[in-house]
């Protein structure tokens, strides 16, 4: 089909459609082969997950749309979406899904896949770095709460050194400590 030269008729569509041949038809298989994705095909887009989600009103892609995008093969768009990182992981969607799709677990899988490709938001990367450096996300400090409870200022016997050593050799270490 001539794209621009032929001006005899009106434009076919005002919005350029997504070309299905440019999408990745194997993305659905890839997700199915992840630990929690086996049931993804069962989705019939009832949007129960979106109804259950406490924060989907903030999202461009609602949970049921993310699943639809997986099934259509929109790999790039799904893995670069901010939604997969903003999920609260409350598991409401997964609990309510009438077809047994493990929506929240699939979102974890999507985070894993995105991380593998280095598609991690800065805030998440920062947290990972913290974890790597301190061995814990929230460092316990001597404060009035411990004092009120008659506890000593330091947590006795707490050592994160070994944990930090292990973390370095995990994927978290690879991703956040790389540079």
Chain contacts with other proteins (rule: CB under 8 A): 1, 12-13, 15-21, 25, 28, 41-45, 47, 64-65, 68-69, 71-72, 99
Mention every residue, 6+ apart, whose C-beta is less than 8 A from residue 93. Answer: 48, 49, 50, 52, 53, 63, 103, 104
Closest separation in Å from C-beta 33 to other proteins: 14
DSSP-derived secondary structure letter, 75: H
Closest separation in Å from C-beta 63 to other proteins: 12
- Residues 146/149/154/156 CA torsion (nearest 10 deg): -150
If the CB atoms of residues 63 and 135 are measured against other proteins, the closer one turns out to be 63
Mention every residue, 6+ apart, whose C-beta is less than 8 A from residue 43. Answer: 64, 67, 68, 71, 99, 101
If the CB atoms of residues 98 and 153 are measured against other proteins, the closer one turns out to be 98
If the CB atoms of residues 16 and 162 are measured against other proteins, the closer one turns out to be 16
Distance CA 48, CA 52 (A): 6
Closest separation in Å from C-beta 149 to other proteins: 52
If the CB atoms of residues 41 and 160 are measured against other proteins, the closer one turns out to be 41
If the CB atoms of residues 45 and 90 are measured against other proteins, the closer one turns out to be 45
Q: Which residues of 42-66 are buried (b: 16+ CB within 10 A; e: fewer)?
A: ebeeebbbbebbeebeebebbbbbb
Closest separation in Å from C-beta 75 to other proteins: 15
Distance CA 154, CA 143 (A): 10
Closest separation in Å from C-beta 112 to other proteins: 23
């Amino acid at each position: 089909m001539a794209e621009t030269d032929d001006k005899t008729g009106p434009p076919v569509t005002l919005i350029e459609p997504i070309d299905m041949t440019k999408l990745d038809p194997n993305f659905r298989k890839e997700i199915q082969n992840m630990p929690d994705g086996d049931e993804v095909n069962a989705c019939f887009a009832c949007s129960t997950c979106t109804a259950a989600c406490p924060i989907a009103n903030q999202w461009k892609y609602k949970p049921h749309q993310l699943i639809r995008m997986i099934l259509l093969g929109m790999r790039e768009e799904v893995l670069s979406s901010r939604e997969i990182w903003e999920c609260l992981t409350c598991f409401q969607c997964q609990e309510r899904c009438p077809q047994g799709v493990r929506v929240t677990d699939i979102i974890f899988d999507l985070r894993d896949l995105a991380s593998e490709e280095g598609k991690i938001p800065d805030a998440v990367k920062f947290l990972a770095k913290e974890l790597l450096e301190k061995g814990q996300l929230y460092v316990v400090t001597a404060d009035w709460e411990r004092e009120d409870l008659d506890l000593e200022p330091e947590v006795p016997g707490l050592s994160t050194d070994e944990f930090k050593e292990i973390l370095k050799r995990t994927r978290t270490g690879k991703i956040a400590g790389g540079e």
